[in-house]
Amino acid sequence: MKLIVGLGNPGTAYSFNRHNIGFLCINHIAKSHGIALDKKQGKARTGKGIIAGIEVLLAKPQTYMNNSGQAVRLLMQKYDLDIDDLIVIHDDIDLPFGKVRLKQNSGAGGHNGIKSIIDYLGTQDFVRIKIGISRPQLEDEPVEDTIVDYVLGDFDTEDKPVLDDVIQRTGDAVACLIREDLNTAMNRFN
């Protein structure tokens, strides 16, 4: 079984935030593969199904971004999964909006959700699908305040075509990772 985790914050107030692109991708993947996200377990909303002939567990942690690792660890333990079975989808402000980048065994890069997962699992050796949301244009506000406001801000209406495309490509990248391997997926989607 593969555990595919999309990072985000629970609640309708955060639904279309840039920081919630992991949740948006999980919703798309679930819909595309007929998987109902109808269970609450391991502090996450989950759904089981089949992608590319392999059983998967889709998960959206309900612990808020900065404590995502708690939900991931509980699910990994419950299903006795290895680190090779984990795929995490998250936003990345250091990538241009709409860019997809697959990586394995890299640091948190300032992303608190990834930092939490690394802390709870004791390793950074898992596959991530990073989705670019770009850096905010800085003005007179302190950098940290601007970044927090930006990632917790909603996507703009004009972002929708790129957003729809990147969500679709991320779903395709997940299927490729499951069907083939990381190198093939990296060559195709990075």
Average pLDDT over residues 181-186: 95
Count Cβ atoms within 10 A of the Cβ of residue 12 and give its class: 0-12 exposed, 13-18 middle, 19 or more buried: exposed
Q: Which fold has domain 2-189?
A: Rossmann fold (3.40.50)
* Dist CA 10 CA 13 (whole Å): 8
Nearest to 112 by CA among 155, 149, 62, 69: 69
Domain locations in the chain? Answer: 2-189
Predicted local confidence at residue 142, as pLDDT: 54
> Among 19, 28, 90, 111, which one carries the catalytic annotation?
19
Nearest to 128 by CA among 138, 119, 140, 115: 115
Q: Which residues pair with 3 in a beta bridge?
A: 57, 86
Q: In the Cβ-directed half-sphere of 103, how many Cα atoms lie within 13 Å?
A: 14
Stretch among 40-44, 111-115, 140-144 having the lowest mean pLDDT: 140-144
pTM listed for this prediction:
0.95
Question: Is-catalytic flag, 19?
Answer: yes
The answer to whether 3 touches 26, Cβ cutoff 8 Å, is no
CB atoms < 10 A from the CB of 127, how many? 22
Average pLDDT over residues 59-84: 97
Could you give the percent of the chain with pLDDT greater than 70? 97
What is the DSSP code (8-state) at residue 17? B
Q: Tens digits of per-residue pLDDT, 114-159?
A: 999 999 999 999 999 999 999 887 666 556 778 888 999 999 999 9
Predicted local confidence at residue 141, as pLDDT: 59
Predicted local confidence at residue 139, as pLDDT: 66
